[in-house]
Amino acid sequence: MQREPGQEQVASLTKAPRLIVITGGPGAGKTAVLDIASRMLNHHIAVLPEAATLLFSGGFPRRDAESARKAAQRAIFYVQHELESLFVDEGKARCVICDRGTLDGLAYWPGPQEEFFAQLGTTREAELRRYSTVIHLRTPTVGYNHQNPLRIETAEQAHAIDERIAAAWAAHPHRVFIENAPNFMSKAQAALDAIVAALHDAGASHLSIPSLP
């Protein structure tokens, strides 16, 4: 686990309940880490489902045409915003952990980044301010898992997406990279430790996670 130094500071991050992003390219292990975190910290956090999975598994068209890809990313952005607002307004958890964040869409947008922000009526700075911490799980360079039926990318495409996601969040002042490990449980432990550190920053200083087997 490596915390990035020297990133440009972004003021006025989201106040409690804080939004924490778990991001990374396809096959990075986000779903497994979120499942473990939800079970171990269920009284302290709320976990949002991934907006893209909700849409595509529910029948939203997934087509290759540029217009269709843009439509999908706009839909994902709006669903993500509404999910976050729903959980924040409920106020039942100190922190809300998001399976991806709004800036992930930049990695999938088939046009200029300026067009992404213009069509969605927002700015990079506004989206960065939504989240207190960004935890980036790296996509494996070897051993890429292609079993998820919604995962259509090759290993090479997944790695390229991972790099674009890293670039999209580059200006966030509280970003942590979780590198790949010889076994997934070591990587999951590092990710859970990063989540607990973010919760400590939110005032939950008594929390800890036992070592995974």
| pLDDT above 90 (res 141) | no
Do 93 and 128 form a contact (C-beta atoms < 8 A)? no
Answer yes or no: is 207 within a domain: no
CA distance linking residue 141 with residue 28, whole number of Å = 10
Mean pLDDT across the stretch 17-28? 91
Answer yes or no: is 209 within a domain: no
Answer yes or no: is 57 within a domain: yes
Bridge partners of 45, per DSSP, are 95
Answer yes or no: is 15 within a domain: yes
Q: Residue 42: give the domain boundaries.
A: 2-201
HEC assignment per residue over 27-77: CCCHHHHHHHHHHHCCCCEEEECCHHHHHHHCCCCCCCCHHHHHHHHHHHH
The contacts found for 86-89 with CB under 8 angstroms, 24 or more apart, are: 87/17, 87/46, 87/48, 88/17, 88/19
| pLDDT above 70 (res 157) | yes
Answer yes or no: is 186 within a domain: yes
Q: Tell me: the pLDDT tens digits for 79-128?
A: 999 999 999 998 888 789 999 999 999 999 999 999 999 999 999 999 99
Answer yes or no: is 145 within a domain: yes
CA distance linking residue 183 with residue 168, whole number of Å = 28
Q: What is the pTM of this model?
A: 0.84
Matching residue, tokens 């960004």? 134
Q: Closest Cα partner for 168 from 199, 131, 212, 209?
A: 131
How does the average pLDDT of the chain come out, rounded? Answer: 85
Per-residue pLDDT, 176 = 97
Answer yes or no: is 69 within a domain: yes
The CATH number for 108's domain is 3.40.50.300
CA distance linking residue 138 with residue 123, whole number of Å = 25
Per-residue pLDDT, 10 = 40
Q: Tell me: the pLDDT tens digits for 196-208?
A: 898 887 665 555 6
Mean pLDDT across the stretch 31-54? 88
pLDDT category at 146 given cuts 50, 70, 90 is low
Q: For the purposes of burial, counting CB atoms within 10 Å of the CB of 100, is it exposed (0-12), middle (13-18) or buried (19 or more)?
A: buried
Number of domains in the chain: 1
Answer yes or no: is 77 within a domain: yes
